[in-house]
A and B are shown apart, each in its own frame.
Chain A
Amino acid sequence: MNTHLLPALPAGSRDRKGPGSFRARHRRRLLRTDLLATAAWASIAAAVALWLADGGTSGFSTLAGAFTSLGIVAGLAGMDLVLLMLLLAARIPLIDQTVGHDRALEFHRKLGKPSLYLLLAHGILIAIGYGMTEGLDPVSEAVSLWVLVPDMWLAFISMALFIAVVVTSLVAVRRRFPYEFWYAVHLLTYAAVATSLPHQFSVGGLFAEGTWQRWYWLAVCIATGAALLHYRVLEPVIATFRHQLTVSRVVQVAPGVVSIEMHGLRLNELAGTGGRFFIWRFLAPGLWWHPHPFSLSAEPLQFDASGRGLLRITVRNLGRGSAQLAGVKPGTKVAVEGPYGIFSTAARSRDRVVMIGAGIGITPLRALLESTPFAPGQATVILRGRSEQELYLGDEILDLARNRGATVFHLTGARSARHTGSWLPDSATNAGHRLADYAPEIADADVYVCGPAAWARNVIADARAAGVREDQLHYERFDW
């Protein structure tokens, strides 16, 4: 096969550090994780403290006041959660490099329902509390708020939008609709937040003009908006212009699998990103609007010191969009965002490393094997596919392993029909093999797993059984 991109540099030589450096780096990452978690909780406490500092507890002297006060607290906490969700989805490098892109989005999803419940409670409790003061039932009170109080009609629209966004994101609902529908509804989040802001500052007495609470809330909202604008809009545009990527050739690796090579500028800045993913947009008719998340399947190859070079991704016909990619013409311009995620050296915590990949999930491991530092004998690569042909880039991995002193296993064959919990081929399962038989020192290694979700779950279960702790497990989803 003539598709090899042999490493230009002795792999990992620039990045190699003394033993124990991974542990120190890992400790720093865990510290950052804890600090971020603390900051998130503290922000919720601060939102409630705004109300406490305004003497909010005096509202509990009457029943109506108690309803109103609880409503205000629910609104403050709910809005704070919404802002946290926006920050988690903003692809801020600090968050991305600390917990990783997929875990950040997992937290984002977890906060969805609680924030909606708080916002609903806010509306209902306030309607009850105000209604009791005025001698109206909550429904009439809500109507009078809508009609009589400026900016409140916007708040009602905001509530409806929030409900729509969360409902379409429920797993059961999301499955029924195409990705694009969900995405379009999800964009309404920005409208939901924007329409909720006026009433917070005009009707909410807490954020009245001249109070420090108003300044705090304004600062938090503006900072969140600025982070979104910068990392989700400006950075991608800047990266696209900085790297000027153009498809140079498309090579078939196996049936239904192609490698797309792109040349561009200043690729030296992307060194060490092997395994991390980028979001690609191929600027051709019918393709440009579809963003594709793919990992690099090789370290960026540099032609000269100025950073001119080559990037490569390897993709399989998984979705409708991916199928079209095989037809991308050389010369097509490419818009790029990233790199994102910590399926990379940044996640290392040990000197030893075990990489386990199946099918197209092998390709990010190929890039990781090229760049991540390890001493000869400290790395094990386990490749899994139905046939030898499905071990994409398998011979490149063999070359790299030979150069760097890594152990490679090719495990081919159909999965066991009887043992549904196994990730191994039928023959290996019947022989009683486990993960620890291939990588005996796995309990003291970083374990990188990339493959279909069900298969990966089985690998992870086997790894846990072999004594691998949670912080040693690095798992990338790729079947979006």
Chain B
Amino acid sequence: MRIRAAVSAALASAGILLAGWQSGIHVEDTRSAAASTSAGINGTTGTTGATGATGSTGSSSSSSGSTDTGASGTGSSGAGTGTAGTDSGAAAEPTTGAAAKAGGTYTGSVVQTRFGAVQVQITVKAGAITDVEALQLTDDDRKSVQISNRAAPLLRSEVLAAQSADVQTIGGATVTSVAYLNSLQAAIDAANL
């Protein structure tokens, strides 16, 4: 009877491990594909960002939902100043209104992590953050690329809704999130928001 238990346990475990390994190979294939597409996206947003504020909003939104960008940008601007009030943002807005109203793109600092460097750029229009782009994301290995690709859109929409770097980190992507939000804070500081 002990033999029966040992044999069935060995067979079951081997089967489960084999199934896991097989689907793992599959995941790796799709992931390398994802890595190449993400590189492409980063490249295009990088160039459009240089052309101008309004242009970049339009072109980058094609990669992650255009209606969403417009709605959250205008709808939550009132709430955005409310939350930003905690960190010098609201006080700064009336006085340095010229810089904020003019808008433009502001680049955050490069934050190094164990999985690679992270840097973000924000687009500001009329004192509100209308877009966040990741210029660099953790990409040391395939796993990090996968995590970054998943976390970046989530962080972007959170930031656009909150209009600050004071948002929840993404579960399973804590390191990327923290670096992303630090770089973002630097960009917000640069914009004098």
Q: Are A57's CB and B172's CB within 8 A?
A: no
Q: A56-B24, A59-B143, A208-B150 are in contact. Are A38 and B169 (CB under 8 A)?
A: no
Is the CB–CB distance between A48 and B17 below 8 Å? Answer: yes
Q: How far is the CB of A209 from chain B (nearest CB, A)?
A: 5
A57: nearest chain-B partner, CB-CB: B24
- Which chain A residues border B150 with CB–CB below 8 Å? 208-210
Q: A55-B27, A58-B28, A150-B174 known; A33 and B5 CB under 8 Å?
A: yes
Of the listed stretches B7-15, B41-49, B76-84, B159-167, name the one at the interface; the rest are far from the partner chain. B7-15
B16 interface residue per 8 A CB criterion: yes
User: In the complex, which residues 135-189 of chain A have their Cβ closer than 8 Å to any Cβ of chain B?
Assistant: 148-151
- Stretch from A16-24, A39-47, A239-247 contacting the other chain: A39-47
Interchain CB contact under 8 A, B171 and A209:
yes
Closest CB in chain A relative to B4 CB, distance in Å: 5
Q: Which residue of B lies closest to A62 (CB)?
A: B141
A34 at the interface (CB under 8 A from B): yes
What A residues does B13 contact at CB under 8 A?
41-42, 44-45
A204 touches B172 (CB 8 A): yes
- The residue that A149 contacts in the complex, of B17, B142, B147, B174, with Cβ under 8 A, is B174
B67 at the interface (CB under 8 A from A): no
- In A31-88, the 8 Å CB interface with B consists of 33-35, 37-38, 40-42, 44-46, 48-59, 65
Contacts of B12 in A (CB 8 A): 38, 41-42, 45
Among A40, A54, A55, A133, residue most surrounded by chain B Cβ atoms (within 10 Å):
A55
* A interface majority secondary structure: helix
* In the complex, A321 has a CB within 8 A of chain B: no
Partner of B169, one of A40, A48, A57, A202: A202
Given A59-B141, A65-B141, answer yes or no on A54-B147 (Cβ-Cβ < 8 Å).
no
Tell me the complex Cα distance, A151–B31, Å.
28
Residue A423 at the chain B interface, CB threshold 8 Å = no
Residues 100-138 of A at the B interface (beta carbon under 8 Å): 130, 133-134
The reply to whether A30 and B1 form a contact with Cβ atoms under 8 Å apart is yes
Cβ of B126 < 8 Å from any Cβ of A?
no
Interface string of A445-480 (1 = CB under 8 A from B): 000000000000000000000000001000000000
CB neighbors of B among A199-217 (8 A): 201-211, 214
Q: Which residues of A contact B95 (CB under 8 A)?
A: none
Q: Which of B1, B19, B174, B175 has the most CB of A within 10 A?
A: B174
**Pair A52/B9 contact, Cβ less than 8 Å:** no
Query: Within 8 Å CB of A30, what residues of B?
Result: 1
Q: Which of A30, A45, A203 has the most CB of B within 10 A?
A: A45
Count of interface residues, chain B, beta-carbon cutoff 8 Å = 39
User: Are the C-beta atoms of A34 and B1 separated by less than 8 Å?
Assistant: yes
**Which of B8, B27, B143, B170 sits near A53, CB closer than 8 Å?**
B27
Instruction: Say whether, besides A49-B16, A203-B174, A205-B173, A37 and B5 are in contact (CB < 8 Å).
Output: yes
* B25: chain A residues within 8 A (beta carbon): 55
Asked if A207 contacts B172 (CB within 8 A), the reply is: yes
A22 to B14, CA, bound (A): 34
Given contact pairs A52-B20, A53-B27, A34 touches B172 in the complex (Cβ within 8 A): no
Is B110 interfacial (CB 8 A cutoff)? no
Whether A202 and B171, one on each chain, are in contact in the complex, defined by CB atoms closer than 8 angstroms, is yes
B9 smallest CB distance to A (angstroms): 4
Residue of B nearest to A30 (CB): B1
- 1/0 per residue B139-168: CB within 8 Å of A? 011111011001000100000000000000
Q: Does B178 contact A (CB under 8 A)?
A: yes
| Docked complex: B97-153 residues within 8 A CB-CB of A | 114-115, 140-144, 146-147, 150
Is A130 touching B114 in the complex (CB atoms < 8 A)? Answer: yes
- Bound Cα distance A54, B12 (Å): 20
Which single member of B14, B24, B141, B174 contacts A54 (CB below 8 Å)?
A: B24
A418 to B109, CA, bound (A): 84
Question: From A214, which residue of chain B is reached at the shortest CB distance?
Answer: B172
Verify A38–B27 contact, CB threshold 8 A: no
A209 touches B170 (CB 8 A): yes
Among A54, A130, A150, the one with the most B-chain Cβ atoms within 10 Å of its Cβ is: A54
Q: Is A55 touching B8 in the complex (CB atoms < 8 A)?
A: no
Contact status A205-B24, CB under 8 Å: no
Question: A52 and B21: CB pair below 8 A?
Answer: yes
Which residues of the partner chain B approach A57 to less than 8 Å between Cβ atoms? 21, 24
Q: Is the CB of B172 within 8 A of A55?
A: no
Asked if B63 CB lies within 8 Å of chain A CBs, one says no
Contact in complex: B20, A50 (CB < 8 Å): yes
Known: A38-B9, A44-B13, A52-B20. A209 touches B140 (CB 8 A): no
Give the residue name and chain of the A residue nearest to B27 (CB): A55
Nearest opposing residue in chain B for A135, CB measure: B114
Identify B114's interface contact among A52, A58, A133, A471, CB under 8 A.
Answer: A133
Q: Is B23 an interface residue (CB 8 A)?
A: yes
Report Cα–Cα, A48/B13, bound state, in Å.
10
Bound Cα distance from A211 to B27, whole angstroms: 12
Contacting pair A202 B114 (CB below 8 A)? no
How far is A471 from B136 in the complex, measured between Cα atoms in Å? Answer: 64
Question: Least Cβ distance of A145 to chain B in Å?
Answer: 9
Which residues in A have their C-beta under 8 angstroms from that of B17? 45, 48-49, 52
Shortest Cβ distance from residue B144 to the other chain A in the assembled complex, whole angstroms: 8
Chain B: minimal CB distance from A473 (Å): 14
Q: Does A45 lie within 8 Å of B172, measured CB to CB?
A: no
B28 contacts across to A, CB distance below 8 A = 55, 58
CA distance A53 to B24 in the complex (A): 4
- A sample of 22 inter-chain contacts (CB < 8 A) reads A34-B1, A34-B4, A38-B5, A38-B8, A40-B9, A42-B9, A48-B20, A52-B17, A53-B23, A53-B24, A54-B27, A57-B21, A57-B24, A58-B142, A59-B143, A201-B172, A202-B171, A202-B172, A205-B172, A206-B172, A208-B147, A209-B154
On B, residues with C-beta under 8 Å from A are 1, 4-5, 8-10, 12-14, 16-17, 19-21, 23-25, 27-28, 31, 114-115, 140-144, 146-147, 150, 154, 169-175, 178
